[in-house]
Amino acid sequence: MTRVLATTLPLAGADSIGIAGERAICDRRGVLYFPELRLLTVSDLHLEKGSSLARRGTLIPPYDTGATLLRLQAVIADYQPAIVISLGDSFHDGGGAARMHSSFRERLEALMAGRDWFWVAGNHDPDAPADLPGET
């Protein structure tokens, strides 16, 4: 089966709108994609939320980072963006990138490879992620 990339048409479950003269696809998976710019925006990934809460004594299953990266991987595979902007709260706290398991870090870096990646500070992660590529 051949997968058709939706770089110009919205996928099922997505709507198209105009923003400042640019067409944008509002994907119900929680991303906004600008096809003519090949720009994907994501927000509030909260990577390493489970490990952050565990440090404070609240235990949740430690699968949040892996599950989030799988969803991000699917979106990137569908749109093949040249640019990704993560609009803040990419990590649940300032130490999240440092706590990230090496397998998750490698998966994230593979998703970032060959793309311009921008990290925007959020209230949960006001500093650039430690030792990860991309610009702030």
The whole-number pLDDT of residue 4 equals 41
The whole-number pLDDT of residue 91 equals 80
Contact partners, residue 11, CB within 8 Å, separation at least 6: 25, 27, 78
Residue pLDDT, tens place only, 75-117? 999 999 999 999 977 786 777 778 888 999 999 999 999 999 9
Residue pLDDT, tens place only, 2-27? 344 445 666 777 789 999 999 999 99
Domain boundaries, given as residue ranges, for the chain:
14-30+40-119
Query: What whole-number distance in Å separates Cα of residue 82 and Cα of residue 35?
Result: 10
The whole-number pLDDT of residue 121 equals 80
Helix (H, G, I), strand (E, B) or coil at 72: helix
Compute CA distances 19 → 12, 23, 67, 95, 118, whole Å. 20, 6, 30, 34, 20
- Of the ranges 5-14, 62-71, 111-120, 123-132, which is most confident? 111-120
DSSP state of 10: P
The whole-number pLDDT of residue 52 equals 61
Residue 50 has pLDDT above 60, yes or no: yes
Residue 1 has pLDDT above 60, yes or no: no
The whole-number pLDDT of residue 65 equals 86
